[in-house]
Amino acid sequence: MRICFFGDSVINGTGDDDGLGWVGRVVAQARRGGCDVTAYNLGIRRGTSADVAARWAGEARLRLPHEHGPAWRAWTKEPA
């Protein structure tokens, strides 16, 4: 499973002494539970909701396979 994580410094892991951040902890727990996860940490420090809204679809499109079909296209407003 591929997951893109978008957000600000909480997603990015800024200030985390262990270097894991929220994303690293979630992914580690999922893997311990037997889930094959590929994570893309796309958090940018001081990123705003407007910043994420402007970039998420393009960033996700580069990392996620297109075999998600019509639901993916509708969600990202991608033409068929």
pLDDT in tens, 10-34: 888 898 898 888 899 999 999 999 9
Dihedral angle of Cα 56, 57, 61, 64, to the nearest 10 degrees: 60
* H/E stretch holding 62: helix 49-63
Residue type, 47: G
What's the whole-model pTM score? 0.75
SS3 19: coil
Q: How far is the C-alpha of 20 from the C-alpha of 37, rounded, in Å?
A: 15
- pLDDT tens, residue by residue, 42-66: 988 888 889 888 988 888 888 887 6
* H/E stretch holding 42: strand 38-43
Q: How far is the C-alpha of 55 from the C-alpha of 36, rounded, in Å?
A: 26
